[in-house]
Amino acid sequence: MPELPDVESFKRYLDATSLHKKIKNVHVGNAKVLRGISGRRLKEALRGRSMEETSRRGKHLFAALDDGRWLTFHFGMTGRLAYFKSLDDDPEHDRLRLDFDDGYHLAFDNQRLFGRIGLIDDLDAFIASQELGPDAMDFSLDQDAFAKLMDGKQGGIKAALMDQSLLAGIGNIYADEILFQAKLHPDTRVQDLSTDALRKLYRTMRRVLRVAIDRGAGSEELVDRLPKTYLLPHREAGASCPRCKGTIKTIKTAGRTSYYCPRCQPKPRGD
């Protein structure tokens, strides 16, 4: 599932390819991805409009139209954006395609139909309705603010990192990477972490997300571009730990499969 680094890459991709272009036509490949609007109404709303700027909160991408409304994207399990000129390059699972008046196209490619597209009037109201916490890469979220967010929370640290109402953007894959780099077991309880430990976790989180963004998150080539000490290229049961050469194991954490190294990420004492 695309997480914060992937969606940030999609945001930059849209910025570089599709802003300030007049939308000539709209093709709805499958209306199942639409939320709160019909295909007909979306076509009417977008024809003749242009996307002027973008924003992002967690895993959600927003494109501001020149009439003040916002096009919303959530990429589900497999979504991505594709920009091209020839319709021969139109992705197989094109669910929405914007045809620009310069002959280029932007498609929402979403094989498993778990993605979502909508049109909203008020961005702040939408973010509130989705109960999204602060973005994990927000400039205003410093290490002390992060520690305060976690203050009083109960339960495992991985579940806390993935709680979108607490902190928006981190999913299963990057939670595993952050905890691996921080040498924390996925079941480590939030309430057992000191303020200094939470500050250290914050710094690790920001570094992991920044490295992923800078090295091409959202592309198949990312695993080859990450540092050798990262878990992601080795994220399978039985693989060799890139740090200690031990064996990567799996456990269930908050209903999700966690990949970790028992040697580098020992289980907390007393558990």
Q: What is the token pair recorded at 215?
A: 């090295």
Catalytic residue among 53, 256, 262, 268: 256
Q: How far apart are the C-alpha atoms of 27 and 230, rounded to whole Å?
A: 40
Radius of gyration of the chain from its Cα atoms, rounded to whole angstroms = 20
Helices 195-214 and 172-182 cross at an angle (nearest 10°) of 120
Catalytic residue among 2, 5, 186, 242: 2
Is residue 2 among the annotated active site residues?
A: yes
Q: How far apart are the C-alpha atoms of 245 and 229, rounded to whole Å?
A: 11
Q: How far apart are the C-alpha atoms of 180 and 239, rounded to whole Å?
A: 14
Is residue 3 among the annotated active site residues?
A: yes
Catalytic residue among 56, 59, 95, 158: 59
Q: How far apart are the C-alpha atoms of 33 and 224, rounded to whole Å?
A: 32
Q: How far apart are the C-alpha atoms of 81 and 97, rounded to whole Å?
A: 10
CB 234 within 8 A of CB 264: no
CB 61 within 8 A of CB 73: yes
Is residue 59 among the annotated active site residues?
A: yes
DSSP letter, residue 136: T
Q: How far apart are the C-alpha atoms of 223 and 212, rounded to whole Å?
A: 9
Determine the length of the chain: 271
CB 141 within 8 A of CB 132: no
Please identify which residue in the block is written with the tokens 């709209």: 26
* H/E segment holding residue 224: helix 222-225
Active site residues: 2-3, 59, 256
